[in-house]
Amino acid sequence: MSTIYEIPCVKGFIRMCNDGWLQGWHERNGGNLTYRMTGEDVAACRPYFDAEPREWVNMGVQADNLAGEYFITTGSGKFFRNVEPDPIHSIGIVEINDKGDSWRIVWGLADGARPTSEFPSHFMNHSVRKAATNGANRVIYHCHATNVIALTYILPLTDRDFSRALWQSATECPVVFPEGVGVCPWMVPGGADIAMATSEKMKTYQAAIWAQHGLFASGPDFDITFGLAHTIEKSAEIYVKVLSMGGGLIRQTITDDDLRAIAHDFGVTLNENFLD
């Protein structure tokens, strides 16, 4: 293996950044991606780490269950558009200290770059999803999915309203996210408050919507996480088109009994709080 870019976790990370860019969800420096590495990933990447790690930086949030972990992360202010052509300046690997409250860069983020401005949100979400999935969750992805954002201007900002609208707008949705989606009110991005609010939602849901801002999705790998974001955004796009075409009139939709029938046949448990 001659470069770090051929190692599957780094290759998959870069591919997912480019996939998001190609979807149009990452204007300018919009969006961010983090991946919690396996021991095998770290061992494969370690030969490429810098000779000297950079200094420890406190995050303002803390999680015991992420002490000593390594993450691949996009850089603050970096453009998804540039990840594939210029990874060394666009992404990096950080190590978490044994208190679970600070990071230091061990590879990439060249020339003074830092992890994403949303690293505190990603970190808290990793902590919650790692606990909720017995360690299976490894990916947290934030994107500016256009139609999801548009819906936050017209739908009530409740978990119930968004979950129902998305379930009803694409038949596979109840199978892909049977627990529904969480919705956070508009908040200032980048800080500990939005990190805590989002991670509270992620105790129940695989994905959370940030009003007038975007989407947070989680999953065990790049395929499942990107697929979740893609499914949610596709469904939102259909709902936007339906509302736009019909002047708000919806002649027919997937009924609650239809949703129950899908859940039954596909062997998933729908969140009954969101059904009538």
Binding-site member from 118, 159, 233, 237 for ligand 2HA (CB under 6 A)? 118
| 82 interacts with ligand 2HA by CB under 6 A | no
| 117 interacts with ligand 2HA by CB under 6 A | yes
Residues 244-263 that bind ligand 2HA (CB under 6 A): none
- Give the closest residue to 38 by CA, choosing from 70, 7, 6, 67: 70
| Nearest-CB residue for ligand 2HA | 189
Q: Smallest distance from the beta carbon of 105 to ligand 2HA, in angstroms?
A: 17
Residues 9-48 that bind ligand 2HA (CB under 6 A): 29-32
- Helix boundaries (H) for the chain: 8-23, 39-45, 87-90, 119-132, 146-151, 159-169, 173-176, 192-201, 222-245, 256-266
């500990």: which residue's tokens?
A: 192
User: Does residue 198 contact residue 128 with C-beta atoms inside 8 Å?
Assistant: no
Helix (H, G, I), strand (E, B), or coil: what is residue 86?
coil
| H-run or E-run covering 95 | strand 91-96
| 116 interacts with ligand 2HA by CB under 6 A | yes
| H-run or E-run covering 16 | helix 8-23
Q: Is 68 exposed, middle or buried (0-12, 13-18, 19+ CB in 10 A)?
A: exposed
| 191 interacts with ligand 2HA by CB under 6 A | no
**Residue 116 binds which entry of Zn ion, ligand 2HA, none, with Cβ cut-offs from 5 to 8 Å by kind?**
ligand 2HA
Q: Catalytic: 233?
A: no
Q: Smallest distance from the beta carbon of 116 to ligand 2HA, in angstroms?
A: 6
Q: Give whichever of 31 and 174 is closer to ligand 2HA, judged by the CB atom.
A: 31
Q: Give whichever of 117 and 204 is closer to ligand 2HA, judged by the CB atom.
A: 117
Distance CA 25, CA 20 (A): 6
User: Does residue 239 contact residue 29 with C-beta atoms inside 8 Å?
Assistant: no
Size of the site for ligand 2HA (CB under 6 A): 9
Choosing from 69, 118, 233, 237, the catalytic residue is: 118
Binding-site member from 57, 62, 187, 189 for ligand 2HA (CB under 6 A)? 189
**Residue 191 binds which entry of ligand 2HA, Zn ion, none, with Cβ cut-offs from 5 to 8 Å by kind?**
none
The residues annotated as belonging to the active site are: 118
